[in-house]
Amino acid sequence: MKTIGLLGGMSWESTERYYRFIQEETKRRLGPMHSAPVVLMSVEFQKVHAMQHAGDWDAAGAYLADHARRAQAAGADLLILCTNTMHKVAPAIEAAIDIPFLHIADATASAIRAQGLDTVGLLGTHFTMEQDFYRERLALHGVTALVPDAEDRELVNRVIYQELVDGTLRPDSRDAFLRIMQTLASRGAQGMIEGCTEIGMLVTPEHTDIPLFETGWLHCEAAVDAASGKPRSWEPVD
Protein backbone atom coordinates (compact mmCIF):
# COMPACT_ATOMS: atom_id res chain seq x y z
CA MET A 1 0.00 0.00 0.00
CA LYS A 2 1.26 3.47 -0.86
CA THR A 3 2.05 6.00 1.87
CA ILE A 4 -0.61 8.69 2.29
CA GLY A 5 0.60 12.19 3.05
CA LEU A 6 -1.64 14.32 5.27
CA LEU A 7 -1.15 18.08 5.28
CA GLY A 8 -3.14 18.97 8.38
CA GLY A 9 -3.50 20.95 11.55
CA MET A 10 -6.27 23.20 10.19
CA SER A 11 -7.67 22.37 12.71
CA TRP A 12 -6.00 19.49 14.52
CA GLU A 13 -9.43 18.19 15.58
CA SER A 14 -10.40 17.51 11.99
CA THR A 15 -6.94 16.15 11.13
CA GLU A 16 -7.31 13.64 13.94
CA ARG A 17 -10.53 12.49 12.30
CA TYR A 18 -8.74 12.18 8.94
CA TYR A 19 -6.21 9.77 10.42
CA ARG A 20 -8.95 7.70 12.06
CA PHE A 21 -11.12 7.64 8.93
CA ILE A 22 -8.21 6.47 6.79
CA GLN A 23 -7.34 3.65 9.17
CA GLU A 24 -10.97 2.56 9.56
CA GLU A 25 -11.47 2.47 5.80
CA THR A 26 -8.18 0.62 5.25
CA LYS A 27 -9.19 -2.02 7.79
CA ARG A 28 -12.64 -2.34 6.23
CA ARG A 29 -11.23 -2.94 2.78
CA LEU A 30 -8.10 -4.97 3.49
CA GLY A 31 -8.82 -6.72 6.78
CA PRO A 32 -8.52 -6.16 10.54
CA MET A 33 -4.73 -6.41 10.75
CA HIS A 34 -4.11 -3.80 8.06
CA SER A 35 -3.31 -0.15 8.63
CA ALA A 36 -2.34 2.57 6.18
CA PRO A 37 1.19 3.99 6.19
CA VAL A 38 0.84 7.75 6.76
CA VAL A 39 3.11 10.80 6.80
CA LEU A 40 1.55 13.68 8.74
CA MET A 41 2.69 17.29 8.43
CA SER A 42 0.68 19.36 10.91
CA VAL A 43 1.04 23.12 10.54
CA GLU A 44 0.56 25.98 13.01
CA PHE A 45 -3.09 26.94 12.45
CA GLN A 46 -2.74 30.40 13.98
CA LYS A 47 -0.32 31.33 11.20
CA VAL A 48 -2.72 30.09 8.54
CA HIS A 49 -5.68 31.80 10.21
CA ALA A 50 -3.83 35.12 10.24
CA MET A 51 -2.91 34.79 6.56
CA GLN A 52 -6.52 33.94 5.67
CA HIS A 53 -7.94 36.99 7.38
CA ALA A 54 -5.22 39.28 6.06
CA GLY A 55 -6.02 38.05 2.54
CA ASP A 56 -2.39 37.03 2.11
CA TRP A 57 -3.09 33.92 0.07
CA ASP A 58 0.33 33.99 -1.60
CA ALA A 59 2.01 33.63 1.78
CA ALA A 60 -0.44 30.91 2.79
CA GLY A 61 0.24 29.04 -0.41
CA ALA A 62 3.99 29.27 0.09
CA TYR A 63 3.68 28.12 3.71
CA LEU A 64 1.61 25.06 2.83
CA ALA A 65 3.71 24.30 -0.25
CA ASP A 66 6.80 24.15 1.95
CA HIS A 67 5.12 21.63 4.25
CA ALA A 68 3.89 19.64 1.25
CA ARG A 69 7.50 19.32 0.05
CA ARG A 70 8.46 18.11 3.52
CA ALA A 71 5.72 15.46 3.41
CA GLN A 72 7.00 14.23 0.05
CA ALA A 73 10.57 14.17 1.34
CA ALA A 74 9.41 12.12 4.32
CA GLY A 75 8.09 9.42 2.01
CA ALA A 76 4.53 10.34 1.03
CA ASP A 77 3.44 8.81 -2.29
CA LEU A 78 0.35 11.01 -2.56
CA LEU A 79 -0.94 14.02 -0.66
CA ILE A 80 -4.24 15.26 0.71
CA LEU A 81 -4.86 18.64 2.32
CA CYS A 82 -7.01 18.12 5.41
CA THR A 83 -9.16 21.24 5.05
CA ASN A 84 -11.61 22.66 2.53
CA THR A 85 -10.82 26.37 2.73
CA MET A 86 -7.11 26.08 2.04
CA HIS A 87 -7.80 24.36 -1.26
CA LYS A 88 -7.89 27.95 -2.44
CA VAL A 89 -4.11 27.61 -2.63
CA ALA A 90 -4.14 24.09 -4.08
CA PRO A 91 -2.32 25.22 -7.26
CA ALA A 92 0.67 26.39 -5.19
CA ILE A 93 0.79 23.05 -3.38
CA GLU A 94 0.49 21.02 -6.58
CA ALA A 95 3.29 23.02 -8.19
CA ALA A 96 5.61 22.30 -5.26
CA ILE A 97 5.42 18.49 -5.32
CA ASP A 98 5.95 15.63 -7.74
CA ILE A 99 3.40 13.27 -6.19
CA PRO A 100 -0.37 13.18 -6.84
CA PHE A 101 -2.47 15.76 -5.00
CA LEU A 102 -6.06 14.64 -4.38
CA HIS A 103 -8.49 17.59 -4.37
CA ILE A 104 -11.25 17.47 -1.77
CA ALA A 105 -13.88 18.95 -4.10
CA ASP A 106 -13.21 16.24 -6.70
CA ALA A 107 -13.82 13.52 -4.11
CA THR A 108 -16.97 15.26 -2.91
CA ALA A 109 -18.37 15.82 -6.38
CA SER A 110 -17.75 12.19 -7.30
CA ALA A 111 -19.85 11.06 -4.33
CA ILE A 112 -22.62 13.51 -5.19
CA ARG A 113 -22.79 12.37 -8.80
CA ALA A 114 -22.65 8.71 -7.73
CA GLN A 115 -25.96 9.30 -5.92
CA GLY A 116 -27.49 10.84 -9.02
CA LEU A 117 -27.59 14.37 -7.59
CA ASP A 118 -26.53 17.61 -9.23
CA THR A 119 -27.65 20.42 -6.90
CA VAL A 120 -26.51 20.63 -3.29
CA GLY A 121 -26.16 23.09 -0.45
CA LEU A 122 -22.69 24.16 0.61
CA LEU A 123 -21.77 25.09 4.18
CA GLY A 124 -18.26 26.11 5.12
CA THR A 125 -16.14 29.10 6.00
CA HIS A 126 -17.13 32.34 4.32
CA PHE A 127 -14.11 31.88 2.05
CA THR A 128 -15.45 28.53 0.84
CA MET A 129 -19.04 29.71 0.48
CA GLU A 130 -18.40 33.10 -1.09
CA GLN A 131 -15.33 32.69 -3.29
CA ASP A 132 -15.23 30.83 -6.59
CA PHE A 133 -12.42 28.33 -6.07
CA TYR A 134 -14.60 25.62 -4.51
CA ARG A 135 -17.90 26.07 -6.35
CA GLU A 136 -16.15 26.28 -9.72
CA ARG A 137 -14.31 23.02 -9.02
CA LEU A 138 -17.65 21.34 -8.23
CA ALA A 139 -19.13 22.80 -11.42
CA LEU A 140 -16.47 21.02 -13.47
CA HIS A 141 -18.20 17.81 -12.37
CA GLY A 142 -21.69 19.10 -13.15
CA VAL A 143 -22.54 19.94 -9.53
CA THR A 144 -24.26 23.22 -8.64
CA ALA A 145 -23.69 24.49 -5.08
CA LEU A 146 -26.23 26.72 -3.33
CA VAL A 147 -25.04 28.81 -0.38
CA PRO A 148 -26.97 30.44 2.49
CA ASP A 149 -27.88 34.11 2.56
CA ALA A 150 -25.44 36.63 4.00
CA GLU A 151 -26.76 36.46 7.57
CA ASP A 152 -26.64 32.68 7.68
CA ARG A 153 -23.20 32.59 6.03
CA GLU A 154 -21.95 34.79 8.86
CA LEU A 155 -23.50 32.44 11.44
CA VAL A 156 -21.93 29.36 9.86
CA ASN A 157 -18.53 31.03 9.65
CA ARG A 158 -18.70 32.21 13.27
CA VAL A 159 -19.58 28.73 14.55
CA ILE A 160 -16.70 27.20 12.61
CA TYR A 161 -14.03 29.63 13.83
CA GLN A 162 -15.30 30.27 17.36
CA GLU A 163 -16.56 26.79 18.25
CA LEU A 164 -15.77 23.89 15.96
CA VAL A 165 -12.06 24.50 15.44
CA ASP A 166 -11.79 24.46 19.24
CA GLY A 167 -13.76 21.22 19.46
CA THR A 168 -16.83 22.93 20.97
CA LEU A 169 -20.15 21.33 19.98
CA ARG A 170 -23.23 23.34 20.99
CA PRO A 171 -26.79 22.02 20.54
CA ASP A 172 -28.07 25.50 19.63
CA SER A 173 -25.47 25.76 16.88
CA ARG A 174 -26.51 22.34 15.57
CA ASP A 175 -30.11 23.52 15.50
CA ALA A 176 -29.07 26.62 13.56
CA PHE A 177 -27.17 24.52 11.01
CA LEU A 178 -30.16 22.21 10.59
CA ARG A 179 -32.43 25.21 9.98
CA ILE A 180 -30.03 26.55 7.36
CA MET A 181 -29.87 23.14 5.69
CA GLN A 182 -33.67 22.98 5.53
CA THR A 183 -33.74 26.44 3.96
CA LEU A 184 -31.28 25.36 1.29
CA ALA A 185 -33.32 22.20 0.68
CA SER A 186 -36.40 24.36 0.13
CA ARG A 187 -34.41 26.22 -2.55
CA GLY A 188 -33.69 22.99 -4.41
CA ALA A 189 -30.68 21.45 -2.69
CA GLN A 190 -30.91 17.67 -2.98
CA GLY A 191 -28.13 17.12 -0.46
CA MET A 192 -25.72 19.07 1.70
CA ILE A 193 -21.94 19.45 1.49
CA GLU A 194 -20.38 19.76 4.92
CA GLY A 195 -17.72 21.92 3.34
CA CYS A 196 -15.63 22.42 6.44
CA THR A 197 -13.98 19.33 7.84
CA GLU A 198 -15.22 20.12 11.36
CA ILE A 199 -18.94 20.35 10.47
CA GLY A 200 -19.24 16.57 10.48
CA MET A 201 -18.53 16.65 14.22
CA LEU A 202 -21.66 18.79 14.74
CA VAL A 203 -24.22 17.47 12.25
CA THR A 204 -24.39 13.77 11.40
CA PRO A 205 -26.94 11.69 9.45
CA GLU A 206 -28.79 10.92 12.68
CA HIS A 207 -29.77 14.60 12.89
CA THR A 208 -31.39 15.02 9.45
CA ASP A 209 -32.94 13.17 6.52
CA ILE A 210 -31.10 15.41 4.05
CA PRO A 211 -28.23 13.49 2.40
CA LEU A 212 -24.97 14.74 3.89
CA PHE A 213 -21.64 14.76 2.11
CA GLU A 214 -18.96 14.90 4.78
CA THR A 215 -15.98 16.13 2.86
CA GLY A 216 -13.33 14.80 5.23
CA TRP A 217 -14.65 11.25 5.05
CA LEU A 218 -15.02 11.38 1.26
CA HIS A 219 -11.49 12.76 0.93
CA CYS A 220 -10.17 9.89 3.02
CA GLU A 221 -12.01 7.36 0.87
CA ALA A 222 -10.35 8.83 -2.21
CA ALA A 223 -6.96 8.60 -0.50
CA VAL A 224 -7.48 4.95 0.37
CA ASP A 225 -8.63 4.33 -3.22
CA ALA A 226 -5.37 5.73 -4.53
CA ALA A 227 -3.14 4.14 -1.91
CA SER A 228 -4.63 0.65 -1.87
CA GLY A 229 -5.73 0.14 -5.45
CA LYS A 230 -8.96 -1.33 -4.06
CA PRO A 231 -12.20 0.18 -5.43
CA ARG A 232 -14.38 1.94 -2.92
CA SER A 233 -17.88 0.96 -1.91
CA TRP A 234 -20.36 3.82 -1.76
CA GLU A 235 -22.30 2.08 0.99
CA PRO A 236 -21.86 3.73 4.40
CA VAL A 237 -19.49 2.18 6.89
CA ASP A 238 -21.11 1.02 10.13
CA–CA separation, 195 and 87 (whole Å): 11
Catalytic residue among 15, 83, 125, 197: 83
Q: Residue 169: what are its φ and ψ, rounded to 5°?
A: -120, 110
CA–CA separation, 42 and 27 (whole Å): 24
Residues 184-187: contacts with CB under 8 Å, at least 24 apart: 184/121, 184/146, 184/147, 184/148, 185/121, 185/210, 187/121, 187/146
197 labelled catalytic: no
- Are the C-beta atoms of residues 32 and 25 closer than 8 Å to each other? no
Cα torsion angle, 119, 61, 169, 156, sign: negative
CA–CA separation, 165 and 197 (whole Å): 9
CA–CA separation, 161 and 49 (whole Å): 9
Catalytic residue among 125, 196, 197, 215: 196
- Are the C-beta atoms of residues 102 and 80 closer than 8 Å to each other? yes
108 labelled catalytic: no
Catalytic residue IDs: 83, 196
